Amino acid sequence: ELKVEQNPLFLSMQEGKNYTIYCNYSTTSDRLYWYRQDPGKSLESLFVLLSNGAVKQEGRLMASLDTKARLSTLHITAAVHDLSATYFCAALLYSGGGADGLTFGKGTHLIIQP
């Protein structure tokens, strides 16, 4: 059974600082997703990581994937208040000729203070 663990679950940081959110998964995964969710809103796709060593960047966010360590990271550079949200990682497995549902971590509730 695929399990996904995120840490930290709660993070309060100051604007301008850097930090990393970690996502470990228990078995081989075929795709790794990062999502952002604002309170009461839908899930906004940030990154899809497909292969070992994949690195993707968008603005102040950068995601990476190490399939051997079963670890993905979401790095925040020079945080700004607008990045305050809950961030989820999710892993996808293929089985029986198609994809199963996403298995999500519990989410990291990020608060960025001025």
Which residues of the shown chain bind other proteins in the complex (CB under 8 A)? 31, 33, 35, 40-43, 45, 48, 88, 90, 92, 94-104, 106-107
C-alpha to C-alpha distance for 29 and 39, rounded to whole angstroms: 28
Smaller CB distance to other proteins: residue 31 or 70?
A: 31
Q: Give the CA-trace dihedral at 6, 72, 22, 83, to 10 degrees.
A: -100
- Ramachandran angles phi, psi of 82, nearest 5°: -65, -15
Beta strands 71-76; 19-25: pairing state? antiparallel
Of residues 18 and 27, the one with the C-beta less far from other proteins: 27
Going from the C-alpha of 28 to that of each of 65, 95, 113, the distances in angstroms are 12, 12, 36
- Residue placing its CB nearer to other proteins in the complex, 48 or 54: 48
Q: Minimum distance between the CB of residue 87 and other proteins, rounded to whole angstroms?
A: 12
- Give min distance, CB of 52 to other proteins, in A: 18
Q: How far is the CB of 24 from other proteins (least distance, A)?
A: 16
